[in-house]
């Protein structure tokens, strides 16, 4: 993701557009809302972009795969199969590394997963985990 690079250059409209594209559907209305949101956010950019840059770079550099086996709580790993930030393979590898895990991948959904089925799946997981 080039958000950190764009923020470093002060290209806030493009940086916000890239961030918003993760949540907006690629439809005509979604593209219009993305453009409007990015434009409005760019009107008052942060004076210091370092928090955003550090956060994005830390997420990109973080490697946790070797420590997943240490997780002992029942775990639900949920993702959209079309998430542009976290690939389906990364999500599957994450779930495989954690003992006592349930994986749910929603086909066609991006980042973040949501909706009626998502709510039902979360509820069912917690009810089952407490039993």
Do 72 and 124 lie in one domain? The reply is yes
What DSSP designation does 10 have? T
Each residue of 100-112: pLDDT tens digit? Answer: 999 999 998 877 7
Token pair 């409209």 is found at 13
pLDDT digits (tens, 9 = 90+) for 70-94: 999 999 999 988 877 778 898 999 9
Owning domain of residue 124: 66-130
Instruction: Locate 121 and state its tokens.
Output: 């799946």
Say if residue 44 is in the same domain as residue 72.
no
Same domain, 93 and 51: no
In this structure, the answer to whether residues 52 and 102 fall within a common structural domain is no
Contact residues for 72 (Cβ-Cβ < 8 A; gap 6+): 99, 100
Residue 85 and residue 98 in one domain = yes
**Low pLDDT (below 50) residues in the chain:** none
Give the per-residue pLDDT at 128.
Answer: 87
55 lies in the same domain as 90: no
Rg over alpha carbons for the chain, rounded to the nearest Å, is 18
Residue 85 sits in the same domain as residue 31? no
Sign of the alpha-carbon torsion through 60, 82, 11, 41: negative
Residues 43 and 95 in one domain: no
Query: How many domains are contained in the chain?
Result: 2
- Where do the H-state alpha helices sit in 1-115? 3-8, 12-20, 28-42, 50-61, 88-97
């Amino acid at each position: 993701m080039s958000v950190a690079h764009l923020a470093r250059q002060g290209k806030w409209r493009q940086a916000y557009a890239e961030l918003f594209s993760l949540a907006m559907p690629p439809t005509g209305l979604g593209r219009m809302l993305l453009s409007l949101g990015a434009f409005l956010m760019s009107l008052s950019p942060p004076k210091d972009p370092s928090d955003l840059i550090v956060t994005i770079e830390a997420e990109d550099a973080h490697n946790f795969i070797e420590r997943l086996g240490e997780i002992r709580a029942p775990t639900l790993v949920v993702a959209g199969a079309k998430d542009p930030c976290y690939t389906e393979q990364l999500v599957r590898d994450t779930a495989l590394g954690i003992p006592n895990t349930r994986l749910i991948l929603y086909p066609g959904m991006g980042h973040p997963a949501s909706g009626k089925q998502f709510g039902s799946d979360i509820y069912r997981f917690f009810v089952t985990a407490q039993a």
